[in-house]
Amino acid sequence: MDRRLRRFVRDSEGPRSKMGKCGALISGSQAVQFFERVTWKVLDMDIFVLEREGAASLGRHMSIVEGYDLVDVKTRGPYMHKSVTR
């Protein structure tokens, strides 16, 4: 999982630890790729957090440490976004 997380973050240990403390769950295409043992070119990751406090804590970490921005879109709800130039 660390290798997959490093596609999105500089240091996978920090976010992984924070997700564990917050009760967060990686889902969507990243979960499918993990269980299928494949890697797709699509770079998105869905993280679900059940409790509001956990979501706020993980969001602060992703913003401050990893450089993500919170985007509040009325039709989709709030989500984190990071523009990456390759």
How far apart, in whole angstroms, are the C-alpha atoms of residue 82 and residue 67? Answer: 7
pLDDT higher than 90, residue 71: no
How far apart, in whole angstroms, are the C-alpha atoms of residue 59 and residue 46? Answer: 13
DSSP 39: -
pLDDT higher than 80, residue 29: yes
What type of residue sits at position 27?
Answer: S
Number of H helices, E strands in the chain: 4, 4
Q: Model-level pTM greater than 0.85?
A: no
pLDDT higher than 90, residue 35: yes
Tokens 């699509």 -> residue: 42
How far apart, in whole angstroms, are the C-alpha atoms of residue 27 and residue 73? Answer: 20
